[in-house]
């Protein structure tokens, strides 16, 4: 009896794999890191795409991916880049530890593996920034090995297919084990990408197109009326709020004072507007002055800058100061890790999104102040002169 059940389960898995592969051959998305059937996959391109796509959308990744390839067409080129260049090119994609690990991984492959990625899951997992999912994805897609990557899309497809009602994240190990039972004996990379595309285009988080799904006959979640609700998730805890103050010093030539953050930790190695530590309370009085990077006439900009990180909500007050070219006397030391950056160079600087929000907030206040102080505005707002009486 047990043997018969195993054969039945094996046949069901083969049917599912064949349905996914047939659908993928017809409907697969055209993406720049994918190859045709007669082409050899490029591990570098696949690795780069997988790192970029972590917690980011394809729409956001495509232009950055193309820009990275133009600038660093292979692993040796990326390994030879400076970390600051990589961080600047990454700015806007978020989760900046990925960029630091990307650079470290490129150097490890170039220096320790002769410029070639290890062709095994175990070897790939030894590289910086490559965990279980990424190792399995590269192994299956780039090297054709029997591996089972499980990203968010595949997780959703499998949870619905098998009607897994245990909430995430507790269900992850069960979903992974079920996904492994489906991986076919051949075309491992195509099968993985087929499941990814299925989750991205058909088995979507909201309003899945079940009528178009090639797995509709086998989907237990659909049969039980649970498909759209799955996977269940544990209720999220409300994000705590952190507060602080950011300081934007604008030099008379338009340059802005920026500080490099410590390499380790949140936004490590990126540039920032100098700020106070982010905590429960916003600094004020002497505490506020202690955190200012320079002695200057700091003016509080109306409103606040808000930004949502994975684990907390940030609220920052912004202070703006206009300083002369001699804001830092020649014989005095520049504030630690700080430097003035020309306004024209800010677009290409390694500034994360929250810092660009801060600068924009300060620049808007600067523009309004300049407009108020212009002669034309002063003349238009001046009280009318009393008319001279005729004799």
pLDDT score, position 122: 95
Closest CA to 247 of 200, 288, 279, 204: 288
* 162/112 same-domain check: yes
236 found inside a domain? no
What digits encode the pLDDT tens for the residues 41-86?
999 999 999 999 988 889 889 998 999 999 999 999 999 999 989 9
**Contact, 359 vs 248, CB < 8 A?**
yes
Query: How would DSSP label each residue in 83-121?
Result: HHHHHHHHTTS--THHHHHHHHHHHHHHHHSTT---SSH
* 82/110 same-domain check: yes
* 183/289 same-domain check: no
* 127/189 same-domain check: yes
> Number of structural domains, the chain?
2
The DSSP secondary-structure symbol of 168 reads B
pLDDT score, position 6: 42
Q: What is the token pair recorded at 183? A: 């991986």
259 vs 310, residue with greater confidence: 259
Q: How far apart are CA 52 and CA 98, in angstroms?
A: 8
- 103 has pLDDT over 50: yes
pLDDT score, position 19: 95
**Contact, 252 vs 258, CB < 8 A?**
no
What digits encode the pLDDT tens for the residues 114-127?
999 999 999 999 99
* 179/61 same-domain check: yes
338 found inside a domain? yes
Which residue matches tokens 């696949």?
46
pLDDT score, position 3: 43
Of 223, 256, 289, the residue at which a domain comes to its end is: 223
Closest CA to 196 of 46, 38, 41, 36: 46
**Contact, 86 vs 78, CB < 8 A?**
yes
**Contact, 129 vs 101, CB < 8 A?**
yes
Task: Kindly name the residue from 36, 39, 50, 180 that is annotated as catalytic.
Answer: 50
- 330 has pLDDT over 60: no
CA 97 to chain centre: 9
Orientation angle between helical segments 172-182 and 2-27, nearest 10 degrees: 80
Q: How far apart are CA 312 and CA 277, in angstroms?
A: 14
11 vs 202, residue with greater confidence: 202
Q: How far apart are CA 257 and CA 260, in angstroms?
A: 10
* 215/316 same-domain check: no
Longest dimension (CA), the chain: 122
- 1 has pLDDT over 50: no
182 found inside a domain? yes
127 found inside a domain? yes
* 102/131 same-domain check: yes
* 362/214 same-domain check: no
Beta pairing, strands 299-300 & 313-323: antiparallel
Determine whether 50 is an active site residue.
yes
CA dihedral over 182, 184, 188, 192, signed as positive or negative = negative
Arithmetic mean of pLDDT over the chain: 86
Closest CA to 102 of 120, 87, 121: 87
* 204/292 same-domain check: no
* CATH, residue 6: 1.10.340.30
Range of the domain at 249: 241-376
pLDDT score, position 262: 85
195 found inside a domain? yes
* 7/137 same-domain check: yes
> Taking residues 238-258, what's their average pLDDT?
91
Neighbours of 210 (CB within 10 A): 16
- 329 has pLDDT over 80: no
53 found inside a domain? yes
* CATH, residue 365: 3.90.79.10
pLDDT score, position 389: 46
Name which of 40-54, 241-255, 285-299, 360-374 the model is least confident about.
360-374
389 found inside a domain? no
Beta pairing, strands 241-251 & 305-308: unpaired
* 173/248 same-domain check: no
**Contact, 263 vs 269, CB < 8 A?**
yes
Based on its alpha-carbon atoms, the radius of gyration of the chain, rounded to whole angstroms, reads 28
381 found inside a domain? no
Of 192, 223, 254, the residue at which a domain comes to its end is: 223
* 177/292 same-domain check: no
- 130 has pLDDT over 90: yes
């Amino acid at each position: 009896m047990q043997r018969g059940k195993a054969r039945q389960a094996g046949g069901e898995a083969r049917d599912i794999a064949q349905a996914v592969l047939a659908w993928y051959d017809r409907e697969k998305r055209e993406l720049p890191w994918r190859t045709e059937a007669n082409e050899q996959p490029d591990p570098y391109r696949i690795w780069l795409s997988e790192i970029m796509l972590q917690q980011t959308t394809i729409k956001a990744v495509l232009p950055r991916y193309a820009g990275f390839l133009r600038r660093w067409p292979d692993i040796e080129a990326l390994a030879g880049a400076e970390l600051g260049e990589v961080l600047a090119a990454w700015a806007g994609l978020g989760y900046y530890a990925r960029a630091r690990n990307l650079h470290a991984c490129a150097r490890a492959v170039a220096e320790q593996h002769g410029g070639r990625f290890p062709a095994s899951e175990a070897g790939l997992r030894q590289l910086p920034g490559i965990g279980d999912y990424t190792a399995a994805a590269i192994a299956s897609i780039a090297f054709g090995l029997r591996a089972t990557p499980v990203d968010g899309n595949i997780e959703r497809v499998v949870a619905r297919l098998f009607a897994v009602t245990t909430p995430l994240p507790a269900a992850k190990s069960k979903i992974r084990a079920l996904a492994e039972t489906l991986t076919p004996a051949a075309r491992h990379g195509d099968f993985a990408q087929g499941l990814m595309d299925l989750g991205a285009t058909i088995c979507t988080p909201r309003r899945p197109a079940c009528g178009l799904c090639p797995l509709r006959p086998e989907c237990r979640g659909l049969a039980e009326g649970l498909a759209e609700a799955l996977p269940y998730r544990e209720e999220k805890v409300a994000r705590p709020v952190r507060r602080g103050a950011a300081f934007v010093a604008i030099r008379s030539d338009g340059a802005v004072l920026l500080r490099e953050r410590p390499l380790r930790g949140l936004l490590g190695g990126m540039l920032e507007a100098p700020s106070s530590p982010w905590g429960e309370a916003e600094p004020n009085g002497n505490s506020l002055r202690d955190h200012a990077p320079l002695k200057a006439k700091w003016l509080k900009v109306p409103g606040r800058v808000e930004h949502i990180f994975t684990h907390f909500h940030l609220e920052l007050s912004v202070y703006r100061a206009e300083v002369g070219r001699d804001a830092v006397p020649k014989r005095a030391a520049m504030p630690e890790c700080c430097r003035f950056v020309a306004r024209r160079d800010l677009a290409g600087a390694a500034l994360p999104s929250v810092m660009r929000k801060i600068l924009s907030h300060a620049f808007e206040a600067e523009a309004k102040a300049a407009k108020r102080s212009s002669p034309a505005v002063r003349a238009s707002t001046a009280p009318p002169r009393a008319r001279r009486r005729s004799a």
